[in-house]
A = this chain, B = another copy of it.
């Protein structure tokens, strides 16, 4: 059966690489956390939009499941075929559909194909004396299409918003193979229902994004990076309010780091912790104007007014990079503790302190030896809340995942937060949707899915709860 389809497709996809050797396919068939592994008939890598269309037309007609894949850096198994497909169907990797379509400096817009790596978009922008602000740990591998499909967040959301806010236009191939393209860089355009907004964040379940027009910004010409040690979360929130009120959009990042997380990262990075404290804040103020000395005085004032005397301001680029390294290496450093149950949550900023204070004892009571590592983008209310069980070996920790998720998520929901801030739903949280979305919304989502993909071939098993999760 697969051979027949592969033969047929090889005739109609002149610009597509077919990867059929199992060892070559392996890296596409497993997710970044090595939690999901699934076979497929082949990995197909089209390099033209017309091939993507022809491929989808064929699969639509033949009822063949397709799993779209970008950089395969997702953390919810969204880009790995669902196990229930039993190895049927294709992984469609967008990696070779990666051209620059247009750089429009007058409109501060760049149009790229979905397979372009995020770091490359950043580099093209920088070379043109612009700035593309999406910044994630995985930026060296993740691709624009995946970033849009998952509405990626990252470090600079407090200032520039999520990927949703950075997209001006999309080009999408529907499951039927039809192409819908609106790539013009328009800042105002309300012409009927919000198609682009539906595709964004739909995690590859409604179609395959093939290109996007993205916003560019003025480059930062002065940057001020500070690290403050604080006694508690409430102090961090007060500092955040003060900094936002004073610097407004110049605040581009505001990160919170627990002392446990910092010590882990400092050890891993072989750097000294900048200060001694229970909690840590890393913040960055950047400006399109070259006026760093003014901002330094102002920042000292803001820190003093907020009673933050246990703080350092980076005096050199090297110092700045070290501070960021301490933040960026937390994820890698964590792996030395073994596997953990990770949570990608967001909360109203006003609720963060209460959430952290309430959730810890709840976890500790059920799991007395748990280590909780907390860090994240306090500036936009999102956190990574990771629970390690030191006595549990390796992937055995996942036996406790459902229970720990329930403890953490119920506390998040009690505080009006979200259980999926920036990683998406994928195949690990779809059974939670009925808990966090109303029945009307779930029915609406199913009707959307049915409209776009009546035969459920487009990334089946992802995002939507299965029909048995009512």
Interface residues of A, Cβ cutoff 8 Å to B: 104-109, 129, 150-151, 153, 157-158, 161-162, 164-165, 174, 178, 180, 184-195, 197-198, 200-202, 217-218, 237, 241, 244-250, 287-289, 291, 294, 298, 346-350, 377, 380-382, 416-422, 424-425, 429, 433, 436-438, 440-445, 447-448, 451-452, 463-464
User: What 3 A-B pairs come out closest when comparing CB atoms?
Assistant: A248-B288, A197-B197, A218-B248
List of B residues within 8 angstroms of A382 by Cβ: 187-188
CA distance A189 to B422 in the complex (A): 7
Specify which chain B residues have a CB less than 8 angstroms from the CB of A151 in the assembled complex: 190
A188 adjacent to B422 (CB under 8 Å): yes
Contact B247 A289 (CB under 8 A): yes
Closest CB in chain B relative to A446 CB, distance in Å: 10
Q: Are B193 and A445 in contact (CB under 8 A)?
A: yes
Nearest chain B residue, comparing its CB with the CB of A200: B194
Closest beta carbon of chain B to A384's beta carbon, Å: 12
Q: Which residues of B contact A350 (CB under 8 A)?
A: 104, 106-107
Residues in B whose Cβ lies below 8 Å from that of A443: 451
A353 to chain B, nearest CB (A): 10
Contact (Cβ within 8 A) B174 A165: no
Across the interface, A346 reaches (CB within 8 A) one of B106, B109, B188, namely: B188
Q: Which residue of B lies closest to A436 (CB)?
A: B191
Closest partner residue, chain B, to A169 (CB atom): B416
Instruction: Please determine whether B193 and A106 come into contact, CB atoms closer than 8 angstroms.
Output: no
Out of B153, B187, B195, B416, name the residue touching A188 (CB < 8 Å).
B153
Known: A194-B200, A198-B194, A201-B193. A244 touches B108 (CB 8 A): yes
Extra contacts, 20 of them, besides A187-B381, A247-B288, A247-B289 (Cβ < 8 A), are: A106-B348, A129-B245, A153-B188, A161-B187, A184-B348, A184-B416, A186-B381, A188-B377, A189-B421, A191-B433, A191-B436, A193-B445, A195-B441, A197-B198, A197-B200, A218-B245, A218-B246, A248-B288, A291-B294, A448-B448
Cα distance A246–B192 when bound, in Å?
Answer: 35
Q: Is the beta-carbon distance between B193 and A444 smaller than 8 angstroms?
A: yes
In the complex, 26 of the A-B residue pairs with CB atoms within 8 angstroms, ordered by the A residue number, are A104-B348, A108-B244, A109-B348, A150-B190, A151-B190, A164-B194, A184-B416, A186-B421, A187-B346, A188-B377, A190-B201, A190-B424, A192-B433, A192-B442, A192-B463, A193-B201, A193-B448, A194-B197, A194-B198, A194-B200, A218-B246, A218-B247, A218-B248, A218-B249, A246-B289, A250-B288
Partner pick for A421 among B106, B190, B347, CB 8 A cutoff: B190
**In whole Å, how far is A291's beta carbon from the nearest beta carbon of chain B?**
8
Check B349–A107 contact: CB distance below 8 A: yes
**Least CB distance, A104 to chain B, in whole angstroms:** 6
Please give the distance in Å from A264's CB to the nearest CB on chain B: 24
Give the chain B neighbours of A158 by CB distance below 8 A: 187
Give every chain B residue within 8 A of A298 (Cβ-Cβ).
289
Query: Nearest residue in B to A353 (C-beta to C-beta)?
Result: B106
**Least Cβ–Cβ distance between A319 and chain B, in angstroms:** 25
List, in ascending order, chain B residues with CB within 8 A of A436's CB: 191
* B288→A425 contact, CB < 8 A: no
Is there an interface contact between B187 and A438, defined as CB atoms closer than 8 Å? no
Distance from A92 Cβ to chain B, minimum over Cβ atoms (Å): 20
Quick one: which of B187, B291, B380, B416 contacts A187, CB cutoff 8 A?
B380
- When chains A and B are docked, how far (Å) is the Cα of A202 from the Cα of B185? 21
Residue of B nearest to A424 (CB): B190
Q: Which residues of B contact A218 (CB under 8 A)?
A: 244-249
Residue of B nearest to A237 (CB): B106
CB atoms of B201 and A438 under 8 A apart: no
A105 nearest CB neighbor, chain B only? B241
